[in-house]
Each structure stands twice: as structure tokens, then as C-alpha cells.
Amino acid sequence: MIVLGVESSCDETGIALYDTERGLLAHALHSQVAMHEQYGGVVPELASRDHIRRAIPLLKEVLEKSGAGREQIDAIAYTQGPGLAGALLVGASIACGLGLALDRPVLGVHHLEGHLLSPLLASDPPAFPFVALLVSGGHTQLMRVDGVGRYELLGETVDDAAGEAFDKSAKLLGLGYPGGPAISRLAEFGDPHVYKLPRPMLHSKDLNFSFSGLKTAVLTVVKNQVTNICEQDKANVARAFVDAMVDVLVAKSVAALKQTGLKRLVIAGGVGANKQLREALDAAATRKHFRVFYPEMEFCTDNGAMIAFAGALRLQRHPEAARRDYAFNVKPRWPLAEVTGA
């Protein structure tokens, strides 16, 4: 079965073809970072319009790279939510329009389920069950994953997500958008002993997170500078921020493994590409004797491959989930707990 995946939840347009027998056939991605950079963040209307421009050329590129014809597509999966409403509507309408034109069934996929399952696309995929740390610009959650559609929420952020705190703190330091990669690069030149920032909820007795206070601590440090903050001091603040963030994420992940008794940890979402987080998790895995799995770097951010893959796994178990009526709706707010069915 060959599944076409369409991702358009935010500021990346992703198209991919996944074959349940041969694996990922091809994928293509367009990032809107350059377009949104001048605004310091994603502008929803611009994002939606750009998805319209990019989707069909990317589809043609994927078909050409894969060598597959349109008639070989068996089903179409698209991101139904969560995400920006306008951006989701673009992807949904394109997927359903293609389904109607090709007489193929379509399936709405949960964006976070795509991220959770994306490490299974790697050459060394994890086996079920595992604990997943889903960490991105909009979400920070710890999940127990027992199979496709079998997810248990263990803990989540009570305010800012990790990626959101990265972006906001980077903006306070005058860094570019997106803030995560910028602050991570700058932190490599910082002195870890100059500033000590708080580790919110590090010693709480649950698996929840809070990063709003960490962002506020960065703001306080910056405001306390009598003159404009120098580049070295920016690097010192960045280092303190990244160290605090990583300490919390690693500690909570290790606690989740202990609570569940599992020995496999999966990292998913854009912050999963962070160099310092990966190094700290690898070190913790060596000390605590568990294994940590990451998506390929190209699949950490939003992409069509994870949507095609998640759609294919669901259709293998529930072929009736795909439909041919082509009326669509999107779910900008869609709790992962509502996605069930193994």
C-alpha cells in the first residue's frame, strides 16, 4: 500500500510517499523560516498562502523522485490537527481534492502522532512499548506509547512549551528566528558558571513541566544589565538557559522511565534536534542503562514523511478509517488523548 502524506500544520509544507512494503519512497519539504524571520515569528495568513503555492510543486517533485505515478497512490493522509487553522485547511483541502480527483480514500492524521512515530522511520527503530518525550514549539509532553493509537499522557507543560521558551528567550537576547537553533549555537560559547537560572519543577513529584519562569529569569538578567548586554554575556545567558532547560527535560525523562519501568526513551519534535539535549540524554542513558532513540535529523521538524507513515500504520490496522466522502474539517486544538485505536 502506497500512502501520500500531506503536512501543513504551521510553517513547513511537507509531501511524502510511503510504501508499506518498501518504506519511504520520497519526501520533499519547504520551510517558511526565511519568510517569517523578518516578523520574529510565524504569521498565520502568510503561512497559509505559502502552503497553497508550495504543495503542488512539492507533490510533483515527490512523484518524480519516487518514480511512482499518481495512479499508484492507494490512500492520502493529511494533518488534520493540531496547528494553525488556515494552514491546516490548505493541506486538508489539497488532500481531499486529490482524493476526489484520483478516487482514493483520505485519512486525517494527528500531527503529534506523526512526531511520536517518526523515530520508527530510522534505520534502528525502537520497539513498543517506550516512553516518548515530545518536545517542540507548541508541545512538551511525556507519553507512554504501547502501540499505534495506544498513548498514555504521563506529564505535560503547565505553561510555555520548551520550544516556545527557546524562541522567547532568544528574542530577549536579540537573536534571530527561529530562536531554538540560534540560542543553542550561542550557548556553545558561553561560560556555564556566570549565571545560574532556575530549573522549574525539577523536584516536583510529578512529570509536568513549567518553562514560563525560566523565560522570565532570562528577561530579569537582561534587564539588570546597566548598559547594552555584550556578546559574551549573551552567550553566558544562553548557556545558562540551555543548561537549565536540558537539566529539566533529562530529569523528567529519566523519572518517567523509572515510573513506568521501561528502558526505551524516544525523543520527538523539533527540540529533539538540539545538540546539548542529545548529548545530555546520551550521557544519562549510559549512566542509567536505558536506550534513547531519535528521529533522523530531517524528520525532527514537521514533515510529510511522518504523516504518510502514521497514516499507513493506521490504515494497516483499520482500513475502514479512510473515507471517500471528501468533506473535511480540521482540529486546531486536538488532544492526543482523543486519538485511540490500535
Mean pLDDT to the nearest integer, 50-68: 98
Mean pLDDT to the nearest integer, 50-71: 97
pLDDT at 274: 92
pTM, rounded to two decimals: 0.94
Which residues on adjacent β-strands are paired with residue 3?
Answer: 18, 75
Distance CA(85)–CA(67), nearest Å, equals 33
Domain with CATH 3.30.420.40 in the chain: 2-116+299-338, 127-294
Strand order from edge to edge, sheet including 106-110: 23-31, 12-19, 2-7, 75-81, 106-110
Domain 127-294 in CATH: superfamily?
ATPase, nucleotide binding domain (3.30.420.40)
pLDDT band at 224 (very low <50, low <70, confident <90, very high): confident
pLDDT at 202: 95
Q: What distance, in Å, lies between the first and last C-alpha atoms of the chain?
A: 19
Buried b (16+ CB within 10 A) or exposed e, 202-240: eeeeebbbbbebbbbbbeebbeeeeeebeeebbbbbbbb
- Chain centroid to CA 228: 34
Question: Rounded to whole angstroms, what are the CA distances from 65 to 21, 94, 183, 272?
Answer: 18, 20, 35, 28
3-class SS letters over 2-32: EEEEEECCCCEEEEEEEECCCEEEEEEEEEC
- 269 phi and psi angles, rounded to 5 deg: 105, 165
Mean pLDDT to the nearest integer, 206-219: 95
Closest CA to 184 of 270, 252, 248: 270
- In the predicted structure, residue 97 carries a pLDDT above the cut 80: yes
pLDDT band at 262 (very low <50, low <70, confident <90, very high): very high
pLDDT at 342: 44
Q: Which three cell numbers stand for residue 36?
A: 517569517
Q: Which three cell numbers stand for residue 2?
A: 502506497
pLDDT at 341: 56
Distance CA(229)–CA(209), nearest Å, equals 29
Mean pLDDT to the nearest integer, 225-242: 87
**pLDDT per position as a tens digit, 291-315:** 999 999 999 999 999 999 999 999 9
CATH code at 2-116+299-338: 3.30.420.40
Q: What is the DSSP string of 98-126?
A: HHHHHT--EEEEEHHHHHHHGGGGSSSPP
Strand order from edge to edge, sheet including 140-147: 150-156, 140-147, 130-135, 264-268, 291-293
pLDDT at 225: 76
**pLDDT per position as a tens digit, 155-189:** 999 999 999 999 999 999 999 888 889 999 999 99
